[in-house]
């Protein structure tokens, strides 16, 4: 064995080093997450779907609906309180804005009680692969409240998921809803008592904030966005790629596959978001495929990724793209964390959660 081969192997982690590794045996895992995942029996390799995206559409939809229900149940059950925590009040009201097709998009508007403006604003777009999860469930509501308690107005967008019980809403429905919501917030800056607008999203929500920004540039409407903060972006759509392509382009898909989430399950979400595959390399559907020309001139960004996430490397790739194009951008890699843990597992990783909230507020202040 050559010294070069030994050096390469020394850098391998997760399933690249040991194909049988699970979260419970991965030494990189944050100890708070280790305990929480064990309590919820999530510390083993995430089970793949019973079939792939070539199954009949009704079977794929049924599986995605079951995934929605399972994650909603987890989010309702996972502990979120900190010991001896005393919470301030948050004012919450709901607005609606008309989508391009007339649908009424719900917006949850939160601000710290008794705090006068003007304040910076975060337009928050939730995760779930643009396909599942509710905008105002227990985890997303707490996240929005905590952002508001730093002294910001938070507008949480109830965009239409690609999967709903009423039927599908494939790309670009969710993206158009987010763009319409952003337009409304921009047009109501004075009424909302806001100054700067930061688009912030996690996972599929990060896809939508990046895509909304790309769309705004195409439409000469970048004045609506002062900054973009994307956490663990789900932006390649490449979860069904061959192992060889994953290793060549985005090896974290192999390294961390099955750590909380797996590529086979994410590919089912892709099948619902873009059923025909005609948008597989459309940057508005999958920002990973944006070019330097697409992103040149965009407002400042933060791209945050997590070490034990299958999506880690696509977020890093987008950071590199922004950097090459001269966009002001900061990149963060959170060690020991799985996908979106610093947003969704508040009690398990309080330091990481607090740091993320502080950083978003600091980013808004620095614009």
Say if CB 154 and CB 122 are below 8 A apart: yes
**pLDDT number for residue 22:** 96
Digit-coded pLDDT (tens) for 208-262: 999 999 999 999 999 999 999 999 999 999 999 999 999 999 999 999 999 999 9
Is residue 59 a part of any domain in this protein?
Answer: no
Q: How does residue 296 score in pLDDT terms, banded at 50, 70 and 90?
A: very high
Is residue 101 a part of any domain in this protein?
Answer: yes
Q: What is the DSSP string of 167-208?
A: ----TTHHHHHHHHHHHHHHHTHHHHTEEEEEEEEETHHHHH
**Range with lowest mean pLDDT among 45-54, 168-177, 220-229:** 45-54
**What average pLDDT does range 25-29 have in this prediction?**
97
Tell which residue, 155, 230, 165, 231, has the closest CA to residue 187: 155
Give the whole-number percent of the chain exceeding pLDDT 90. 96
pLDDT at 1 over 50: no
Beta 90-98 vs 329-334: how paired, if at all? unpaired
What's the structural domain count of the chain? Answer: 1
Q: How does residue 117 score in pLDDT terms, banded at 50, 70 and 90?
A: confident
Give the whole-number percent of the chain exceeding pLDDT 70. 97
Q: Strand, coil or helix: what is 327?
A: coil
State the Cα–Cα distance between residues 192 and 332, nearest whole angstrom: 31
**pLDDT number for residue 47:** 87
Q: Strand, coil or helix: what is 305?
A: strand
Starting at the earlier edge strand, list the strands of the sheet with 194-202: 90-98, 104-112, 153-157, 119-125, 194-202, 227-231, 301-306, 329-334
Q: What is the mean pLDDT of the chain?
A: 96
Digit-coded pLDDT (tens) for 53-70: 999 999 999 999 999 999
**pLDDT number for residue 209:** 98
pLDDT at 7 over 70: no
Residues of the domain holding 175: 77-81+90-366
Q: Among the residues of the chain, which ranges form H helices?
A: 3-10, 14-17, 31-39, 57-77, 138-148, 173-187, 189-192, 204-218, 243-249, 252-255, 263-273, 292-295, 312-324, 341-344, 350-366
Tell which residue, 142, 197, 124, 117, has the closest CA to residue 346: 142
Digit-coded pLDDT (tens) for 127-138: 999 999 999 999
pLDDT at 264 over 80: yes
**What average pLDDT does range 351-363 have in this prediction?**
98
Instruction: Extract the tokens encoding 350.
Output: 């309080």
CA distances from 297 to 197, 205, 324 (A): 17, 22, 12
Is residue 17 a part of any domain in this protein?
Answer: no
pTM: 0.96
State the Cα–Cα distance between residues 278 and 257, nearest whole angstrom: 26
Is residue 16 a part of any domain in this protein?
Answer: no
Say if CB 76 and CB 68 are below 8 A apart: no
CATH code of residue 331: 3.40.50.1820
Neighbours of 217 (CB within 10 A): 17
Is residue 61 a part of any domain in this protein?
Answer: no
**pLDDT number for residue 70:** 97
Is residue 97 a part of any domain in this protein?
Answer: yes
**pLDDT number for residue 179:** 98
pLDDT at 356 over 90: yes
As a residue count, the chain comes to 367
Q: How does residue 39 score in pLDDT terms, banded at 50, 70 and 90?
A: very high
**pLDDT number for residue 116:** 86
pLDDT at 9 over 90: no
**What average pLDDT does range 109-124 have in this prediction?**
95
pLDDT at 126 over 70: yes
Backbone angles phi, psi at 336, to 5 degrees: 80, 0
């Amino acid at each position: 064995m050559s010294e070069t081969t030994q050096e390469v192997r020394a850098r391998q982690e997760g399933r690249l080093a040991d194909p049988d590794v699970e979260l419970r045996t991965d030494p990189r895992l944050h100890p708070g997450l280790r305990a929480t995942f064990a309590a919820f029996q999530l510390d083993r390799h995430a089970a793949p779907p019973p079939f792939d995206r070539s199954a009949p559409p009704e079977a794929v939809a049924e599986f995605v609906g079951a995934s929605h229900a399972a994650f909603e149940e987890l989010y309702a059950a996972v502990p979120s309180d900190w010991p001896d925590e005393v919470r301030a009040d948050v004012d919450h009201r709901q607005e609606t804005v008309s989508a391009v097709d007339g649908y009424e998009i719900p917006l949850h508007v939160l601000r710290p009680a008794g705090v006068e403006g003007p304040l910076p604003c975060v337009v928050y777009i939730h995760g779930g692969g643009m396909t599942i999860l509710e905008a105002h469930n227990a985890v997303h509501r707490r996240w929005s409240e905590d952002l508001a308690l730093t002294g910001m107005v938070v507008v949480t967008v109830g965009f239409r998921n690609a999967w709903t019980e009423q039927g599908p809403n494939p790309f670009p429905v969710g993206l158009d809803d987010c763009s319409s919501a952003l337009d409304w917030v921009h047009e109501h800056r004075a009424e909302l008592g806001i100054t700067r607008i930061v688009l912030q999203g996690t996972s599929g929500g990060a896809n939508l904030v990046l895509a909304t920004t790309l769309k705004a540039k195409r439409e000469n409407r970048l004045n609506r966005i002062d900054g973009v903060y994307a956490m663990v972006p789900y932006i390649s759509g490449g979860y069904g790629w061959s192992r060889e392509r994953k290793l060549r382009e985005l090896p974290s898909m192999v390294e961390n596959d099955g750590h909380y989430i797996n590529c086979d399950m994410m590919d089912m979400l892709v099948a619902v978001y873009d059923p025909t595959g005609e948008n597989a390399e459309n940057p508005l559907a999958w920002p990973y495929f944006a070019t330097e020309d697409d992103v040149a001139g965009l407002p400042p960004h933060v791209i945050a990724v997590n070490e034990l996430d299958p999506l880690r490397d696509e977020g890093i790739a987008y950071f590199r793209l922004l950097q090459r194009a001269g966009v002001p951008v900061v990149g963060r890699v959170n060690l020991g964390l799985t996908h979106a843990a610093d947003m969704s597992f508040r009690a398990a990783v309080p330091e990481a959660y607090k740091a993320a909230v502080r950083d978003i507020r600091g980013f808004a202040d620095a614009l």
